[in-house]
Amino acid sequence: MKRIVTLRNIFFFLVLLIVILAGCETLKISKPIMPVREYEKLIVGRLDAQYVGTQNCLSACHYHDTIRRNFEASTMGVQLTRKSGMPVVNCESCHGPGSLAIEGLTPEKVAEDAKEGKQTACNYDTFIDIKNLPPQAQSLICLKCHTANATFNLHNWNAGAHAISDVSCIDCHNICKTFKKGGPDLTVKPRDTAAMCYKCHQEVIAAFSLPSRHPVPEKRIFCTDCHDAHGTTNDKLLKKPTIKEACTQCHAEKEGPFAFEHADTTEDCKTCHSPHGSVNDKLLLLREPFLCLQCHSGHRTSSTSTAESKSARFTRCTDCHSQIHGTDIPSASGEGRFIQ
């Protein structure tokens, strides 16, 4: 009996082995999504072109001088020597090799064209078509240098909501537009982040226009105080692992621990507050007393005055329960009722 079972097991094992091997075989013959050469072209540019260096690229014409000047003055620019150990960056690092683009472009031809009132242009078609690349390939142009090791804040990029949702580096960092119109500084100023984010998150504009809101429009706090656009290991690209920590980094007095806690409701401030904005005072999700009446029934106070007992049911509960986030001081009955 025992032997039969063993033989049977061996039989099943063999069948399993064959299935697994068959699986490996199909893996071996499966084709890449795109021929490797096409893929290289996507990232590197025309494979028949040569790298010629920024000097050669730009010696014949001065049309891109603003970009070049600001580029050279930027952190990516010339102060990075080979000795610094940093990757040396030039126009071709992102746009691809340029020899075909400047073929036949001599200072003489530029001068001739100028005489006829023509603007000489290099052959843009031979560069990487950055604008029309798939977003992941656009980002790879940056990530070949800005690896997670070199640029620490990009550690969580690949798993982040933005990378997953086809947002690329250049949607937010428009390098050459900055050089052309802005200046050499590529860092993102906190005060500019809201406009950067609103390009795509219009629903958030609405929230920050509500009567009660965090002072983001006033530029007193910023999207990047709470979110990291490059991706985090937390929900909703939050910088902190819990909502409570996200909030108490600024509202430390609400952190506790308190002798009398409001059960565990204050572990998630979103139980009662909206993080961006609300039609109700103090960013509350609902007006009082309705906010409280979701979980509590109202009560009469010990007072004999009807007006007051009514008020306990129908007015702001926090007029009396003013320490709603927790307190160390017991109420008259010795319990934690958040009165003071």
Positions 148 through 207 that interact with ligand HEC (CB under 6 A): 151, 154, 157, 161-162, 165, 167, 169-173, 175-177, 180, 186-188, 193-194, 196-197, 199-201, 204
87 binds ligand HEC per the rule CB under 6 A: yes
312 binds ligand HEC per the rule CB under 6 A: yes
What minimum distance in Å lies between the beta carbon of 12 and ligand HEC?
Answer: 44
Peptide bond into 241 cis (omega under 30): no
* DSSP conformation letters of 24-84: HHHHHHPPPSS-HHHHHHHHH--TT----HHHHHHHS--TTHHHHHHHHHSTTSTT--GGG
Q: Which of 56, 66, 99, 315 binds ligand HEC (CB under 6 A)?
A: 315
Q: In whole angstroms, what is the distance from residue 206 CA to residue 227 CA?
A: 18
What minimum distance in Å lies between the beta carbon of 126 and ligand HEC?
Answer: 13
105 binds ligand HEC per the rule CB under 6 A: no
225 binds ligand HEC per the rule CB under 6 A: yes
Stretch (H or E) spanning 169: helix 169-172
Q: Which residues, in sequence order, are CB contacts of 203 under 8 Å at separation 6+?
A: none
What minimum distance in Å lies between the beta carbon of 118 and ligand HEC?
Answer: 18
What is the footprint of ligand HEC within residues 244-303 (CB under 6 A)? 244, 246-251, 254, 262-263, 265-266, 269-273, 275-276, 281-284, 288-289, 291-296, 298-299, 301
**Cβ distance to ligand HEC smaller for residue 16 or 88:** 88
Q: How is residue 278 annotated by DSSP?
A: E
Q: Which of 96, 230, 232, 327 binds ligand HEC (CB under 6 A)?
A: 230
- Backbone dihedral angles phi then psi of residue 131, each to the nearest 5 degrees: -55, -35
62 binds ligand HEC per the rule CB under 6 A: no
52 binds ligand HEC per the rule CB under 6 A: no
Question: Given the rule CB under 6 A, which of 1-9, 18-26, 29-37, 93-101 is the region that contacts ligand HEC?
Answer: 93-101
122 binds ligand HEC per the rule CB under 6 A: no
**Cβ distance to ligand HEC smaller for residue 39 or 63:** 63
Specify whether the CB–CB gap between 61 and 138 falls below 8 A: no
Q: How is residue 22 annotated by DSSP?
A: H
What minimum distance in Å lies between the beta carbon of 252 and ligand HEC?
Answer: 9
What is the footprint of ligand HEC within residues 130-149 (CB under 6 A)? 130-131, 139, 141-146
Q: How is residue 120 annotated by DSSP?
A: P
**Cβ distance to ligand HEC smaller for residue 25 or 235:** 235
User: Helix 36-44 to helix 135-143 angle, to the nearest 10 degrees?
Assistant: 60
Euclidean distance between the first and the last CA atom of the chain, given in angstroms as a whole number? 77
43 binds ligand HEC per the rule CB under 6 A: no
**Cβ distance to ligand HEC smaller for residue 113 or 133:** 133
325 binds ligand HEC per the rule CB under 6 A: yes
What minimum distance in Å lies between the beta carbon of 77 and ligand HEC?
Answer: 8
3-class DSSP state of 205: helix
What minimum distance in Å lies between the beta carbon of 137 and ligand HEC?
Answer: 11
Q: In whole angstroms, what is the distance from residue 295 CA to residue 272 CA?
A: 11
The tokens of 263 are what?
Answer: 């059960």
- CA count, 13 A, side-chain hemisphere, 229: 19
Q: Which residues, in sequence order, are CB contacts of 8 under 8 Å at separation 6+?
A: none
